[in-house]
Amino acid sequence: MTHALTLEHAKEMDKQDALAHFRKEFYIKENHYYMDGNSLGLLSKRAEESLLTSLNDWKEHGIDGWMDGQEPWFYYSEKLGDMTAPLVGAEKEEVIVTGSITTNLHQLLATFYQPQGKRTRILADELTFPSDIYAVQSQLELKGYSPEEHLVQVKSRDGFTLHEEDIIHQMTDEIALILLPSVLYRSGQLLDIKRLTDEAHKRGIVIGFDLAHSIGALPHQLHEDGVDFAVWCNYKYLNSGPGGVGGLFVHNRHRGKKPGLSGWFSSRKDAQFDMDHTLTHADSAGAFQIGTPHILSSAPLLGSLQLFEEAGIENLRRKSLSLTKFMMDVFQQELNGYGFTICNPLEDERRGGHISLQHEEAARICKALKANRVTPDFRAPNVIRLAPVALYSSYEDVWETIYILKSIMEKEEYKQFENTRNVVA
C-alpha cells in the first residue's frame, strides 16, 4: 500500500463492483456485518422461493409431486447435480446432490478404499476437519485395520498450513487412498489439487478431496485434474440452508463402478420401481445415492444455484480475492500491535475465501464482535475466521468490520467476556 486506505476507498470499490446488485437478493440485517458465510451462508430470496415451490408441490400434489410437481422430486438430485457441475469443473453425469458431506464420504471411502497386499493405509493430514478423520477411522475399523497403524496424517510445519512436498513424501507404496481438504478450514490455505492428484496417480494411489471450504468460493477443474472423487456440503458459500443436502463427484473413468454402500436410490431410474432384489445401479454419480432425496433441504439449493449461474464462479472468485485482500490491507493498516497474527496465506493463488486471525483472546474477541453487530467465526483454540462473501458482502462491510474490531481492541471491550467458546462456536 502506498496510500492510507479510507472508508471512501471502500465506497468507491463498491460503486465499481459489477456483482454488487446480487446483494439485494439476500436477507441482510441493516447495520449488521455478516462474516461467517464460510460456516453458514445467508438466505437468498431465490432459495426461499424454490423452497416454497417444493412446499406448494407437496400441498397441491401429495405423492404425485414426485413426477407432477412444478419441480418433480424424482429427478431433483440429478437436476441439482447438473447445475453444480460447472462449479467443480465436472461433466454433468459425474455429480449428484445427495446425503450429507460425511455420509457421502463414508459412501466413497467404502467404494474406493480397497486395501490389497501392502497397500492398506489411508493418507490424510493433521489439520483437516475432525469429521473426515472420524469417517476414515470408522472405515479402517470396518475393514479390520487399526486406525493407529493404518491412518497416516501429514504433519504441519507451523500448525496452520501444509506443504505439498510433505504430502507427496508420504505417498508411499503402503498408501491405498488419499483424502485431503481443498481448502484448510482453519487457515484458509488452498492446496494444489492438480499437483497432488498427478503425484498420487504416478504412484497408483486413489485420491479424493473435501471441498467444503472451497465450493462456491472458487472454481475447480476436478474432471480435467483427474481427481478420483470429491465431497462437499452446500450450506456454506452455496447458501443452501442449515444442514442442507450435500454433494459428491466421481470421475467418469470410474463410471459403472458398483457403490460400496447401495440403497434404493442407487438404482437406475427406469428400473427403480421394478422392485427387483438385484440392484441395477445408475451409470452415473447417481449410483452413489443411498436413500430418498431430502427434498425440503435440497429445494433452497435450486434457487441459490440460479444466482451462481448468473454471477459466474470466475467473477465471484475475483471479487472474493479482492474482498479478502482489502480486509487484510485494512487490518494491517489499523490493527498492528494488538497481538494478532494473520495465519492464512497472503498469496491469491494459495488462499481460499476467508481470512484467519490468531489471537490468545480469540474466543472473547468473537463474543465482543457479536455484541457489536459483527458475526465472526471462532475455531478452537485461538482462531477468528472472517469471510466476506462475494455474492452479498460489500467493501464497506469489510471496512466497518475491521473498524469495529479496532474499537473493541482499543477499549478492551473483550475483557467483559469469558475466553471460552460457546457450545456452538
pTM for this predicted structure: 0.97
Task: Please give the backbone phi and psi of residue 360, each rounded to the nearest 5 degrees, phi first.
Answer: -65, -20
* Among 300, 215, 211, 245, CA closest to 27: 300
Tell me how far apart the terminal alpha carbons of the chain are, to the nearest angstrom: 34
What type of residue is 35?
M
Beta carbons of 154 and 170 less than 8 angstroms apart: yes
Task: Please give the backbone phi and psi of residue 365, each rounded to the nearest 5 degrees, phi first.
Answer: -65, -40
What type of residue is 408?
I
Question: Would you state the pLDDT for residue 424?
Answer: 79
Question: Would you state the pLDDT for residue 423?
Answer: 80
Q: Where are the domains of the chain?
A: 7-30+312-416, 49-310
Question: Would you state the pLDDT for residue 127?
Answer: 98
Question: Would you state the pLDDT for residue 2?
Answer: 52
The number of C-alpha atoms within 13 Å of 194 and in the hemisphere containing its C-beta is 7
Question: Would you state the pLDDT for residue 422?
Answer: 87
What are the average pLDDT values for consecutive 10-residue runs of the chain, which has 425 residues? 84 98 97 97 98 98 97 97 98 98 98 97 98 98 98 97 98 98 98 98 98 98 98 98 97 96 94 93 96 96 98 98 98 96 97 98 98 96 97 98 98 95 82
Length reported for the chain: 425
Could you give the C-alpha distances from 289 to 164, 259, 285, in angstroms and in order?
32, 9, 8
Task: Please give the backbone phi and psi of residue 337, each rounded to the nearest 5 degrees, phi first.
Answer: 90, 5
Question: Would you state the pLDDT for residue 361?
Answer: 97
- The Cα 193–Cα 180 span in angstroms is 9
Fold of 49-310: Aspartate Aminotransferase; domain 2 (3.40.640)
Residues whose CB falls within 8 Å of the CB of residue 108, separated by 6 or more in sequence, listed in order: 208, 229, 231, 248, 250, 260, 288
Cell of 56: 406448494
- The Cα 157–Cα 180 span in angstroms is 17
Cell of 256: 459403472
**DSSP notation for 370-388:** HHTTEE-EEETTTEEEEB-
Other C-beta atoms within 10 Å of 402: how many?
25
Question: Would you state the pLDDT for residue 421?
Answer: 86
Cell of 161: 498450513
- The Cα 413–Cα 227 span in angstroms is 47
Cell of 195: 499437483
**DSSP notation for 255-312:** TTPPPSS--GGGB-TTTGGG--SS--B-SSGGGG--S---HHHHHHHHHHHHHHHHH-
- The Cα 366–Cα 425 span in angstroms is 9
Question: Would you state the pLDDT for residue 425?
Answer: 76
Residue 27 burial by CB count (10 A; 0-12/13-18/19+): exposed, middle or buried?
Answer: exposed
Asked if domains 7-30+312-416 and 49-310 share a fold, the reply is: no
Give Cα 351 distance to the centre of its chain: 14
Residues whose CB falls within 8 Å of the CB of residue 1, separated by 6 or more in sequence, listed in order: 329, 333
* Among 298, 199, 31, CA closest to 180: 199
* Among 260, 301, 317, CA closest to 81: 301
Place domain 7-30+312-416 in its CATH homologous superfamily. Aspartate Aminotransferase, domain 1 (3.90.1150.10)
* Strand partners for 96: 248
- The Cα 386–Cα 378 span in angstroms is 9
